[in-house]
Amino acid sequence: MGLTIPKFQDLLKPMKGERDKLAAVREEFVSQWGVMGTQWGINRTMAQIHALLMTAPEAMSTDEVMEALEISRGNAHTNLKELVSWGLVRIVTRRGERKEYFEAEKDVWEIFRRITEQRKRRELDPALQVVERCAEETRGMQTKEGKDFHRQMGELQEFVAFASKMGDRVASLPHGKAMQLAMKLFG
């Protein structure tokens, strides 16, 4: 009985099958993350680029992002810059290359913290300013409608300010302490 040596191609078959499966699963994740992103108030492409970079083993260039998602250069560029401004993606340079590469933050808690911070800055803070201004402009009104409106604005102001402070507090906690707090609150 002789020892049979497997062919090189035969050794690669399991790896190719796994790579194909991983590519399909990753594509499904990127697509679904895009759908979820629209529910969170960001555009689908921005969310898909984030998912693509978050699951990429290495930083990717704009051209690679364009090719993977089949999007235009302008769309890729605009959304990459927005992700950089959110702090979810950082620019990576490679020695000897002029191209910019992009890599996503991969720490899930840090992603949550940065998204919370941006959503607060872009949504809660402006809402709080409007409610505060409406409460101030209706202070001292004598009609029932004016008093009711002012009271409602005061309650909204209190609630939005509370939500804002809670968001700041949770986002500032280390991951372990935040999880302990969540377990106490939501059991």
DSSP of 14-81: HHHHHHHHHHHHHHHHHHHHHHHHHHTTS-HHHHHHHHHHHT-SS-EEHHHHHHHHT--HHHHHHHHH
Contact (Cβ atoms closer than 8 angstroms) between residue 46 and residue 37: yes
Q: What total of structural domains would you count in the chain?
A: 2
Task: Output the domain CATH number for residue 45.
Answer: 1.10.10.10
pLDDT value of position 33: 93
Contact call for residues 167 and 123 (beta carbons, < 8 A) = no
> Tell me: the pLDDT tens digits for 14-73?
677 788 888 899 999 999 999 998 887 789 999 999 999 999 999 999 999 999 999 999
pLDDT exceeds cutoff 60 at 1: no
Structural domain range at position 58: 10-104
Mean pLDDT of 169-177: 75
- For residue 42, what pLDDT is reported? 83
pLDDT of residue 121: 87
Do residues 130 and 167 share a domain? Answer: yes
Mean per-residue pLDDT for 92-98?
91
Picking from 47, 76, 104, the residue at the C-terminal end of a domain is 104
Task: Say whether 100 sits in a helix, a strand or coil.
Answer: strand
Pairing of strands 100-104, 60-61: antiparallel
Which of 104, 122, 144 terminates a domain? The answer is: 104
Contact 86, 121 (CB under 8 A): no
5 part of a folded domain? no
**Residues forming a β-bridge with 35:** none
- Do 150 and 94 fall into the same domain? no
- Are 20 and 93 in the same domain? yes
- Is residue 70 located within the same domain as residue 134? no
pLDDT at position 4: 62
- Are 89 and 132 in the same domain? no
The pTM (predicted TM-score) of the whole model is 0.73
Q: In what order do the strands lie in the sheet with 100-104?
A: 60-61, 100-104, 89-93
- Token pair in block for residue 14: 């399991």
